[in-house]
Structure 1
Amino acid sequence: MIFRVLFFVFVYIPVLIVVIPAQALINAFRLPFWNVLPRFFHRVGCIFLGLRVTVIGQPATGRATLLVSNHISWTDIIAIGSVADVTFVAKREVGEWFFVGMMARLQKTIFVDRTRRSDAGRTATEMGAHMAGGNAVLLFAEGQSDIGTHVLPFRSALVGAAQHAMIDAGARDVLIQPLTIAYVRLQGLPVGRTDRSLIAWIKSKSVRQNIREILGGPVKDVTVAFGVPRPLSETDNRKRVTKAAEDDVRAMLVSLNRGKSLPAKVA
């Protein structure tokens, strides 16, 4: 804990002082290297939070890509953001949180209001426009976080809406890629079911309690596994496409949680 306090004071705060205004200028002038500073910031965040990230596979690059992932904790964003250049889709409330909302906007996070069905169209249009420039957008397709032992059913509605929005925006060569995040070790020891409550953001915990447990907890080994990307066309059945990605994410999570090698088609 002493290390994290010193790191926060002498490294993290100076990085914030430099990164925030620099990223704001990069976004204002719409410079093409907008993703460089967020990735650096997330890597510094991994050190601060005690996240050791291992990558399996690789993210698709150079093409419009919709990444669909499971979701365990707010630290997922730090871990994934440290190894991939992505824009996240987050619930509207995140944009209203102190400091977090500002940082999310600097990374061009797309916000969705889950209480309004009509908002899905606006969100999908933003996703499509961003991907039309050859960028990647990550969707936590379960719609909520889970403790990390299994994968909840993926929601196909936003995938389908984004599917058509991408085409409308001119992104013809589109990929959908499954991504799995798994917390596999705490302080070098395999993570058990009871240990997962120290990582996951579950409903019974307040934001403050979860942050306190993460900051005061041991080093966490995190695996970010990129599955095989598939072409996504306007005519593909959204439910079938979403279910295939869900099955891939679930298979990877089960293997990682059991300490097994991933299937050959994934690794």
Structure 2
Amino acid sequence: MKHPWMPASPCGDGCLTPGARSVAPPRRVLRVAAACGVVLSAFLVLPFLLVPGARNRLVRLVFRGVLRAFGVRLEVHGGDGFVAAEAGRGALVVNNHISWLDIVAINAVRPMRALAKREIADWPVLGRLVARGGSIFLDREALSTLPATIAELAAALRRGSLVNVTPEGTTWCGLASGRFTTATFQAAIDGGVPVRPIALRYRLADGRETTQPAFVGTESLIDSLRRVARLRGLVLEMRVCEEIAPGRAANRRELAALAESAVRTALCHKSLALPSLTSTGLEVARSGA
């Protein structure tokens, strides 16, 4: 049963920006089929990869393959230290939440565990991949389970895991956004690890921001997949912000405010277009900013 503290977004179909160009129907079918093929191939190979480094490389390639299958160009700005950080150093990675593509993009840059809503485990294809990545699932409708979930999250961070959390608690269209809730930041404090904010924005190839990839309202995942599959020239911009060191904030409320401010400031960069470097077939723009 839903409770008054359940995160909610007013975004819906009315938030979807018009004017996006579409690819032909046969190409849409090929995109979905290619994405499913990439993920299913990973299920066959992953059980045989016992070395963590090899598993992470394959997971990164799988998520990059999903982006490429859907025709999404990923541009990453900043965060060289984050991408190359040593294994075994835990961090809480937080981002604004717009689409299921957010999960795909972050893992295409750096594979990590996630704190995900329980419903994601039932999603076709993507749900199984997220679960196999070691996700910690949160039952948002049962507040009584929150303390145990935060304790599990803190333990994972303490053991050196990177864990991705979306503190807005639900998806927004991207032009509008929600406040960062504070509960999960307690896990970073308890675990003694830094917080790494990441800002995400979606635009078209001509530079216009678009809300078409947003997973909002009452639509199903299948509906959202179909809409993304028909988009032409979709670009996902990711700006990796400076990490917030342990001890910088006095409490979880202050820590959440620092992370939210970092993301909002990064999203104020209206033009992130930089020369691109190609990495494993994926367009990645790099900047030290």
Shorter-chain TM-score category?
Answer: 0.7 to 0.9
Residue matched to 2:70: 49
Residue identity in the other structure for 1:51: V
- Give distance in 2, aligned partners of 1:260 and 1:44: 23
Q: What is residue 15 of structure 2 aligned with on the other side?
A: none
| Residues 1:114 and 1:7: Cα distance change in structure 2 (over 3 Å) | closer
Query: Secondary structure of the residue that 2:152 maps to in structure 1?
Result: helix
Which secondary structure does the structure 2 equivalent of 1:47 belong to? helix
Partner of 1:88: 114
Measured after TM superposition, the shift of residue 233 of structure 1 is 3.8
Instruction: Give CA-to-partner distance per residue, 1:39-76, whole Å, 9 cap, x none.
Output: 11001001111110111111632321111110011111
Amino acid at match of 2:262: D
Amino acid at match of 1:223: E
3-state DSSP of counterpart to 1:154: coil
CA deviation map 1:220-242 (0-9, x unaligned): 11111111112124983110011
Is 1:191 the counterpart of 2:191? The answer is no
Residue 259 (str. 1) matches residue 271 (str. 2): yes
8 Å CA contact 1:39–1:83 kept in 2: the answer is: yes
Q: Which amino acid aligns with 1:189?
A: D
Identity over aligned residues, as a percent? 27
* Higher RCO, 1 vs 2 (CA within 8 Å, ≥6 residues apart): 2
> Residue 95 of structure 1: CA displacement?
0.9
Unaligned runs of 5+ in 2: 1-23, 274-287
Who is 1:151 aligned against? 177
Which residue does the alignment assign to 1:139?
165
Rounded Cα–Cα distance in structure 1 between residues aligned with 2:36 and 2:180: 37
Stretch deviating more after TM superposition (97-106 or 66-75): 97-106
2:41 maps to amino acid = V
Name the SS of the counterpart of 1:203 in structure 2: coil
Whole-Å separation in 2 of the counterparts to 1:121 and 1:37: 33
Deviation at 1:3, TM superposition (A): 4.2
Deviation at 1:162, TM superposition (A): 4.5
Larger helix share, 1 or 2: 1
Letter paired with 1:199: P
1:39 aligns with 2:60: yes
CA deviation vs aligned residue, 1:153-209 (integer Å, no higher than 9, x gap): 100012114432x2xxxxx4x2111110111x31x22224xx41x221111433332
Q: Tell me the amino acid that sits aligned with residue 152 of structure 1.
A: G
Instruction: Choose 14-23 or 62-71, whichever is displaced more.
Output: 14-23
Distance of 1:260 and 1:238 partners within structure 2: 31
> For 1:69, which of 95, 101, 111 is the aligned residue?
95
Alignment check: 8 A CA contact 1:125 1:162 kept: no
2:246 pairs, out of 232, 238, 242, with: 232
Which residue in 2 is equivalent to 1:169?
none
